[in-house]
Amino acid sequence: MSTPKKLPFHLTNTLSRKKEEFTPLNPPHVGLYVCGPTVYSDVHLGNVRSFTTFDVLYRWLSHIGYTVRYVRNITDVGHLVDDVDAGEDKIAKRARLEQLEPMEIVQKYTNGFHDVMRLFNVRNPSIEPTATAHLIEQIGMVQRIIDNGYAYVVNGSVYFDVPKFAAKHNYGELSGRRIDELLTNTRDTEGMDEKRSPLDFAIWKKAEAGHLMHWPSPWGEGFPGWHLECSVMSTKYLGMTFDIHGGGMDLKFPHHECEIAQSVAADGQAPVRYWMHGNMLTVNGRKMAKSEGNGFTPEELVTGNHKLLERGYSAMTVRFFMLQSHYASTLDFSNAALQAAEKGLEKMMAAVVTLAALKGGDGPASAEVAALEQACYDAMNDDLNTPIMIAHLFDGVRMINSANDGKLALSREDIARLNGLFNAMLFDVLGMRKEEEARGDDGALEGVMRLIIEMRSEAKATRNFALSDRIRDQLAAVGISIKDSKEGSTWDRK
C-alpha cells in the first residue's frame, strides 16, 4: 500500500516575499518563535486568528515528522503608549485605573489568555517565557549593542542608532522600507528630543517618576524597549539563528524589523531564516484591533451578546471559519459566513460519525482514497493551505456519505485509511474538537436517549406517528435532533 509523500514543506518567507522550500537548520529539530500577547487587556478574535494560524503550523510541522521547539512569549512589561499618555506604561496605566498591582493585571490577563487558548483548542507552546523574567538578558543585549557602537545613552535612556546601522546593514529588508523614505514620513514620538535621528528607537527607557514597572540597570532605573524582549527570548531558547519567526502582519514594521537590527547589532547574526506573517481579521472591512474598539471577546462570541453578533457561535465553529481562508489573506468577519462555516462543520463531523460505523467490503484500497490522502498533504505543504485541504476533506465527506447510501463501494482498507486521514487532518492538524468533548457530557444522556429512541421506534412500528412525531418535536424544542434511517434512528445535540 502506498503512503502519502509528506515532504517537503513550502512556506512564504516574508524576507524574500516568495514561497520557499523549508529546510530546518538542524533537522529534525525546528525552532519556532511567535510573538505572544501583551497582557494588559482581554485578547480578541483577531488575536485568536493569529495564534490559531501558528498553532496549525506547529501541529503541521510536528505531524510531518519534525521535533519542534515552539516558543511563544508573554509580554508583561508593557510598552509606551502614544503621546497623549507620554511616558506612561500601558500596564501601569491600567493598574492605576483598576487599583491593582501591575503584576496582578499581568496575571489576570495571562490567565484569561490561557483560558481562551484552551477554548479554541490552541496547543501550549514548548516554552512560554515572560519579559519580566528576562531582564538580565535584556540588559545584557543592550550592553552588547552599545559595545558594538550601535546604540547611545542619553539621560538614562538607550537608543538604537538606526542610520549608523543602516550604513552597514540592510535595515528595512523585511518590511521593504527605505531609510530615506522613512525619514520623510516620521512623526513625533516619545523621546524625540533625545534621539539623534527620528528613526532611532529606545532599547532601554528611563523610568519617569510614578512609573510603576522599572528595574535597575547600568543606565539607571528604567525598563526595556519595545522590541527587545523578543530578540532576547527567541535567541536565548532557539539559538542565535533559528528557523521560523511568526507574528501578525502589523508587527512586520517596526517590531520585526527592529528585532533583526538588534540581533545583528548585538551578535552579528541575522536571527531568523523564515519570517511568516499572518493577515488580519477584519470587521466590515476594517482591521479588528484594540484601538478600533471593534473586537469581541470569546465570551461575547459564545453567548452572542454583542451588537455585531446575531447569535452565539461555538469556538470550534469560529476556528473552522478561520481555517477556511488562507492565513495570508485578510478574513472578513460576518454572521452569514460564520453560519455557513457552522453548517459545513456539522456536516463534516456527522460524516466522521458515519465513517466510524461503516463496514467495508473485501478488496484493495481504491486509488481515490490514496489520491485524497496525497492531496491533503500537498495542500498543507503548499504554504499551509488549509482551505484547500478542507475542500479535499469535503470530497472525503461525499465519499463517506455515498458509501453509507450504498452508492459507492469502499473496502475495509479504504475505510481504515479514511479514518486515519480524518483523525490526522481534522483533529490533529486543524485542531478541531468534537463539541461533546468540549461540553464534557457524561454517559447518562446517552443512556436516556437510547431508551427514548427505542420507545419511539416501537411507536413507529405500530404506526403511532402522532406519538413518534411528538417525541421528535419535543426533543427538537430542547435542542436534540432525531434523524431516522433504514438502520434506525440517531440523535444529536444542536
Residue ranges in 29-58 that form contacts with RNA under rule CB under 7 A: 35-38, 43, 46-47, 49-51
Considering the rule CB under 7 A, would residue 81 count as an interface residue with RNA? yes
Site mask for RNA (CB under 7 A), range 123-152, x = bound: ------------------------------
Q: Considering the complex, state which of residue 29 and residue 328 has its C-beta at the smaller distance from RNA.
A: 328
Residue placing its CB nearer to RNA in the complex, 147 or 473? 473
**Contacts (CB under 7 A) with RNA, residues 208-227:** 226
82 binds RNA (CB under 7 A): yes
- What's the min distance (Å) between Cβ of 235 and RNA? 18
User: Does 15 help bind RNA (rule: CB under 7 A)?
Assistant: no
Q: How are the residues of the chain apportioned to helix, strand and coil, as percentages rounded to the nearest 5?
A: 50, 15, 35
480 binds RNA (CB under 7 A): no
As measured in angstroms, the least distance from the Cβ of 339 to RNA is 6
List CB contacts of 194: < 8 A, sequence separation 6 or more.
154, 155, 157, 159
Cell 465513517 found at? 355
The 3-state secondary structure of 272-320 reads: EEEEEEECCEEECCEECCCCCCCCCCHHHHHHCCCCCCCCCCCHHHHHH
Q: Is 204 in the site for RNA (CB under 7 A)?
A: no
The amino acid occupying position 334 is S
**Who contacts 60 (Cβ-Cβ below 8 Å, separation ≥6)?**
9, 380, 384, 429
Q: Considering only 3-11, 158-166, 398-406, 435-443, which stretch makes contact with RNA by CB under 7 A?
A: 398-406
Compute the chain's Rg from CA coordinates: 27
As a whole number of angstroms, the distance between CA 183 and CA 186 comes to 6
| Angle, CA 278 vertex, CA 275 and CA 282 arms, to 5° | 155
Answer for the pair 203, 80: CB distance below 8 angstroms, yes or no: no
Q: Is 233 in the site for RNA (CB under 7 A)?
A: no
Rounded Cα–Cα distance for residues 237 and 226 (Å) = 20
Paired residues of 152 in beta bridges: 159
Does residue number 402 form part of the binding site for RNA (CB under 7 A)? yes
Quote the least distance from Cβ 49 to RNA, whole Å: 5
Shortest CB 26 distance to RNA, Å: 26
Part in contact with RNA (CB under 7 A); list of ranges 101-109, 137-145, 288-296, 441-449 = 288-296
Please report whether residue 310 would count as binding RNA according to CB under 7 A: no
Stretch that binds RNA, among 102-110, 204-212, 252-260, 433-441 (CB under 7 A): 252-260
Q: How many residues bind RNA (CB under 7 A)?
A: 91
